[in-house]
Amino acid sequence: MDETSFDAIITINAKGLVQSFNPAAERLFGYSEGEVVGRNVKMLMPTHFRTEHDKYIANYLQTGEKRIIGIGRVVTGEKKGGAIFPIELSVGESRIDGAQVFVGFIRDLTEIQSEQRRVQELQRELFHVSRLGEMGQVVSGLAHEVNQPLAAIMNYLQVARNMVDGKQGEIAPIGDVLEKATAQTKRAADIVKRLRAFIDRRETERRQENLATLIDEALALGIVGQVGQATHVRLQLTAGLPRVNVDRVQIQQVIVNLLRNAVDAMEHQKNRELTISSAMDGADLVHVSVSDIGPGISPEIADKLFGAFVTTKEEGMGVGLSICKAIVENHGGRIWFTPNDGGGTTFHFTIPIEEPATATAAR
């Protein structure tokens, strides 16, 4: 048995008494070889298996029925001190000096099990994300409700305008005020309309979309109330870009995510600048970038940034960029980031256009 063995290896005789206990087994179970050799291997099992084990061996020797030999199973072991931990156990049979021995190969599953827990966590978080989708539905319903009173307000305003129309004297300026009120109400109705279109889950198929419109809408809706007066937003959209075949809602989710990250990154600084650009990248890719003048990406997370649950924010879930990556790659594009010369970060993504630029540009 080699001293550097990765697996713990334990041999026992037909009575279940330990014959050898390698260094990996010592590390795994916390016993020294001397503490175990000559004793029944049951001592390495949780109590409820101990009584069974003698029966297992006896049964096998009598009937040849294999329950674990050559099969391998996931079971629990018990360390010195009583801690129970998951192991993968496979057992082989051999003869040493004419005597029958069983050789147990044991792999610690603690890590692997925690990876599974990670998977479960991942699923939970994704459910949370889809609950956010459900929230979208609630907002959609709410928008519908708000639409009706807005329409009523528009009507009343129209009536009032008719009443003061052509009137002279003190009452005359009211017409002007009513007109402004109408314009604002219409604006509110437009926002609600776009909000509904934005989150409406029925519109999740791919269509030929104008990227500029899509970016503009994402900007308007995605960072409502977040940007404030303090952030200077610059739009550098190249005119006449070909349309792209995308799921609008999903691509807007990507943009909104990038915008929010940029806004978050600049939260603690006085000067905040956000630049959103779109341009051709070669003949068949449209390139979108979102640039900030924040502190940049922390080096410790830079290389795993697009993985799930990577976050430096107290309230962050760390799934934003991993969702962005999934969406962009689903569309046949790529997402990455570059540090800015003067500080800050630029996130880039590309979306392939399906037809040559000249064929679609005119539409």
Q: Provide the binding-site residues for ligand ADP, judged by CB under 6 A.
A: 257, 261-262, 265, 292, 294, 296-297, 301, 305, 310-313, 316-321, 345
Cβ distance to ligand ADP smaller for residue 194 or 260: 260
Q: What is the DSSP letter of 32?
A: -
Q: Minimum distance from CB of 32 to ligand ADP (Å)?
A: 46
**Smallest separation, CB 347 to ligand ADP (Å):** 6
Sign of CA dihedral 77, 80, 82, 85: negative
CB of 201 to ligand ADP, least distance (A): 22
Cα–Cα distance list, 358 to 51, 252, 290, 300 (Å): 79, 25, 26, 44
| Residue the block writes with tokens 């190969």 | 105
Total residue length of the chain? 363
Give Cα separations from 209 to 106, 213, 243, 272, 328 (angstroms). Answer: 57, 8, 5, 30, 15
Of 157 and 223, which CB lies nearer to ligand ADP in the complex structure?
A: 223
180 versus 313: smaller Cβ distance to ligand ADP = 313
Beta strand 206-209 with 231-237: parallel, antiparallel or unpaired?
Answer: unpaired
Question: What does the alpha-carbon distance between residue 275 and residue 358 come to, in Å, rounded to a whole number?
Answer: 27
Nearer to ligand ADP by C-beta: 72 or 318?
318
The distance of closest approach from Cβ of residue 306 to ligand ADP in the complex, given in angstroms and rounded to an integer, is 8
**Min separation Cβ 328 and ligand ADP, Å:** 13
Q: How far apart are CA 246 and CA 349, in angstroms?
A: 13
> Which C-beta is closer to ligand ADP: that of 11 or that of 278?
278
Q: How far is the CB of 142 from ligand ADP (least distance, A)?
A: 25
Nearest approach, Cβ of residue 312 and ligand ADP (Å): 3
Sheet holding 99-108, edge to edge: 18-21, 8-13, 99-108, 84-96, 73-78
Residue nearest to ligand ADP (CB): 320
Which residue, 76 or 340, has its beta carbon nearer to ligand ADP? 340
Listed residue (109, 147, 145, 349) closest to 250, CA to CA = 349
Nearer to ligand ADP, 90 or 269 (CB): 269
Contacts of 254 (CB under 8 A, 6+ apart): 323, 324, 327, 328, 335, 349
